């Protein structure tokens, strides 16, 4: 095996291990804020905008992030391919280590939980196109194909494709043919805003490289720029042959690998990873795992505390062990619903388990609507289907389930759940839906962004078997330091009698 391939393999394995071991919940986080549908309307909505193929491939791959190791492997393969395509520009020489630079920058790009995989695909498509063009002979046909490729690649990969133009256009003579592709790109960028219903700046910096639409994907653009710099260095360097048998390529790789490792580690957000882990465990109702986790490290962030309290309550330990852990007042019990896509989800899980089905539904809905790039969420659709099913709104549940039927990984669940719609007996005997239907609010209240003790009390009094509601009610009084209400609570009173 050539040493260069060995190093690529090592790099790929490092990427896989990093995302699989150190960053798995970032991948789950990515997956839960999109819903890839095998549906022509969904695909059309993507491919009608520049950057479409990269976006489509990015979304397609992101659905596999439901399984962190599969997601990590996909990222490892993509970044390795980018490195191999960059290697062509510098070869096995003293600049060899630089061939890892774009992949490293893309790795840094992906450390941001809101960086989208479509950006990586845009880079890969651009480099692949450039590689393909390098195989074409010089001549008129090549120049014509270049003119065709500019708009096609812009549509497929978005503005990052300008790298392709810069890599393919250098010619010693600055003729009309040299400037034509640039002129074409300029005309395109000038005309497209007239026809596309998207902000103009998005056409210049990328529509779907980052979940925050107004955010410029700096690391992605740095990766794109690095390819040009590397190409220029490779062009002016005459050292390839001299260095090919020396230690220099190995040393350059070691230097880059060390720098890369340090940079990745320093820029990783492990605090966010821990928060995402709590959210993931709550989403998958891993109550035992949560209790094990909090026994080794007590969470001190809002999501962690909310999940911790829910897990304690699910095991009937909330009242006795409430103050064994960090608390954050009511914001750690049932936080107010905020307008973001992340923080309401664990709260919604608590509402759901409590039997506050309408509140869970609303909270999940608000979270989904707050996804900044307007995508939908498999996790949210699933919960919306469940809450509508429990609430008896079968036709609404059906709509969400039919959409989930068009996915790869939620289809089976959707098929099973569709069978339950309208089947009152099956729902009543279902271990989750039957229980929650029994526990659900019977009396009508108004609710807003925060829960009230009256609501919890009513929930408990309407069904004294709802132990979770009781624990939350008591915890509410304890956290608000309302010992008077705590001692007057229904169970405390009966115990005294």
Partner 1 sequence: MTFPRFLLLAAALLFLSSCTHHPDVPASSHEAECLPAIYPDYCNVTVPCNIAPLNFMLPAGDFEECVARFTLPDGRQQTYGDGVKVQIPEAEWHAMLNLSKGKSLRVEVWGKTKGEWLSFNPFEILVAQEPIDEYLTYRLIEPSYAGWSFMEIAQRNLTSFDETQVFNNEIACDDRAKGQCINCHSYQNYKTDNMLFHVRLSNGGTVIVNDGKVSKVDLKRDYTISAGAYPAWHPTAKLVAFAACMTRQAFHTAHPNKIEVFDLASDLILYDVATDSVSIISNDSTLLEVYPTWSPDGKYLYYCKTVPLPEELRDKDIISTYRKVQYNLYRRPFDLATHSFGDEELVYDAASHDKSATLPRVSPDGRYLLFAQGQYGCFHIRHSDGDIACMPLDGQALPSVDLTNLNSEGFAESYPTWSSNGHWIMCSSRRGDGNFTHVYFSYFKDGKAAKAFLLPQEDPESDTFRLKCYNRPEFMIEPVRISIKEFSQVLQ
Interacting residues toward partner 1 by CB under 8 A: 39, 41, 193-194, 197-199, 212-214, 339, 356, 358-359, 362, 365-366, 368-372, 374, 388, 393, 395-396, 398-400, 402-403, 406, 440-448, 455
Beta-carbon count within 10 A of 320 CB: 10
Rounded to a whole number of angstroms, the minimum distance from the CB of residue 59 to partner 1 is 16
Beta-carbon count within 10 A of 339 CB: 11
Nearer to partner 1, 213 or 434 (CB): 213
Identify the DSSP state of 18: I
Q: Which residues contact 103 (CB under 8 A, 6 or more apart)?
A: 11, 79, 80, 82, 83, 86, 223
Q: How far is CA 225 from CA 54, 219, 237, 400, in A?
A: 18, 10, 18, 42
CA–CA dist 128, 233 (Å, integer): 20
Closest CA to 307 of 296, 320, 325: 325
Rounded to a whole number of angstroms, the minimum distance from the CB of residue 207 to partner 1 is 10
Nearer to partner 1, 280 or 410 (CB): 410
CA–CA dist 346, 375 (Å, integer): 19
CA–CA dist 156, 74 (Å, integer): 20
Rounded to a whole number of angstroms, the minimum distance from the CB of residue 402 to partner 1 is 6
| Residue 172 φ then ψ, to 5° | -60, -40
Nearer to partner 1, 281 or 390 (CB): 390
Q: DSSP per residue over 106-131, as a string?
A: HHHHHHSTTB-HHHHHHHHHHHHHHH
Rounded to a whole number of angstroms, the minimum distance from the CB of residue 403 to partner 1 is 6
Identify the DSSP state of 99: G
Rounded to a whole number of angstroms, the minimum distance from the CB of residue 329 to partner 1 is 23
CA–CA dist 30, 396 (Å, integer): 26
Nearer to partner 1, 236 or 446 (CB): 446
Closest CA to 46 of 38, 55, 37, 34: 55
Rounded to a whole number of angstroms, the minimum distance from the CB of residue 444 to partner 1 is 5
Rounded to a whole number of angstroms, the minimum distance from the CB of residue 458 to partner 1 is 8
CA–CA dist 373, 212 (Å, integer): 6
Rounded to a whole number of angstroms, the minimum distance from the CB of residue 395 to partner 1 is 3
Nearer to partner 1, 4 or 463 (CB): 463
Nearer to partner 1, 356 or 427 (CB): 356
Q: Which residues contact 409 (CB under 8 A, 6 or more apart)?
A: 63, 66, 378
Instruction: Give the bridge partners for 115, in sequence order.
Output: 210
Nearer to partner 1, 112 or 129 (CB): 112
Nearer to partner 1, 230 or 371 (CB): 371
Rounded to a whole number of angstroms, the minimum distance from the CB of residue 464 to partner 1 is 18
Nearer to partner 1, 395 or 481 (CB): 395
Collapsed DSSP state (helix, strand, coil) of residue 330: strand
């Amino acid at each position: 095996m050539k040493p260069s391939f060995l190093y690529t393999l090592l790099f790929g394995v490092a990427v896989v291990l990093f995302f699989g071991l150190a960053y798995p919940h970032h991948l789950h986080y990515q997956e839960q804020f999109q819903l890839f549908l095998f549906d022509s309307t969904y695909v059309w909505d993507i491919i009608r905008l520049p950057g479409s193929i990269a976006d489509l491939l990015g979304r397609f791959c992101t659905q596999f992030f439901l399984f962190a190791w599969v997601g990590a492997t996909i990222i490892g393969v993509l970044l390795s391919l980018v490195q191999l395509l960059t290697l062509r520009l510098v070869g096995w020489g003293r600049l060899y280590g630089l061939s890892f630079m774009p992949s490293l920058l893309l790795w840094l790009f992906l450390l941001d939980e809101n960086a989208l995989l479509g950006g990586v695909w845009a880079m890969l498509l651009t480099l692949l196109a450039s590689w393909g063009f390098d195989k074409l002979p010089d001549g008129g046909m090549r120049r014509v194909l270049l003119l065709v490729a500019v708009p096609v690649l812009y549509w497929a990969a978005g503005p990052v494709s300008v790298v392709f133009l810069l890599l393919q256009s250098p010619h010693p003579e600055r003729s009309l043919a040299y400037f034509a592709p640039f002129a074409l790109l300029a005309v395109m960028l000038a005309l497209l805003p007239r026809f596309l219903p998207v902000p103009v700046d998005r056409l210049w910096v990328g529509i779907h490289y980052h979940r925050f639409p107004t955010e410029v994907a700096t690391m992605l653009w740095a990766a794109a720029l690095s390819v040009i710099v590397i190409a220029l260095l490779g062009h002016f360097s005459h050292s390839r042959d001299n260095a090919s048998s020396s230690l220099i390529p190995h040393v350059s790789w070691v230097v880059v690998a060390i720098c890369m490792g340090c940079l990745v580690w320093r820029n990783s957000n492990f605090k966010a990873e821990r928060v995402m882990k709590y959210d993931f465990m709550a989403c998958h109702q891993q109550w035992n795992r949560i209790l094990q986790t909090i026994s080794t490290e007590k969470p001190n962030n809002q999501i962690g505390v909310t999940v911790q309290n829910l897990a304690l309550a699910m095991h009937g330990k909330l009242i006795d062990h409430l103050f064994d852990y960090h608390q954050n007042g009511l914001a750690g019990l049932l936080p107010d619903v905020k307008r973001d896509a992340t923080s309401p989800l664990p709260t919604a899980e608590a509402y759901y388990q409590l039997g506050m089905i309408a509140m869970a539904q609303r909270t999940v809905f608000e979270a989904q609507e707050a996804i900044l790039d307007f995508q939908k969420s498999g996790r949210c659709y699933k919960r919306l289907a469940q809450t509508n099913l429990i609430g008896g709104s079968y036709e609404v549940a059906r709509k969400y389930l039919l959409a989930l039927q068009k996915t790869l990984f939620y289809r089976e669940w959707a098929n099973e759940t569709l069978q339950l719609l309208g089947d009152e007996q099956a729902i009543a005997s279902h271990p989750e839906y039957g229980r929650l239907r029994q526990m659900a609010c019977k009396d009508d209240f108004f609710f807003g962004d925060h829960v009230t003790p009256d609501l919890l009390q009513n929930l408990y009094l309407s069904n004294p078997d709802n132990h979770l509601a009781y624990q939350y009610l008591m915890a509410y009084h304890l956290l608000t330091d309302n010992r008077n209400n705590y001692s007057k609570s229904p169970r405390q009173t009966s115990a005294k009698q």
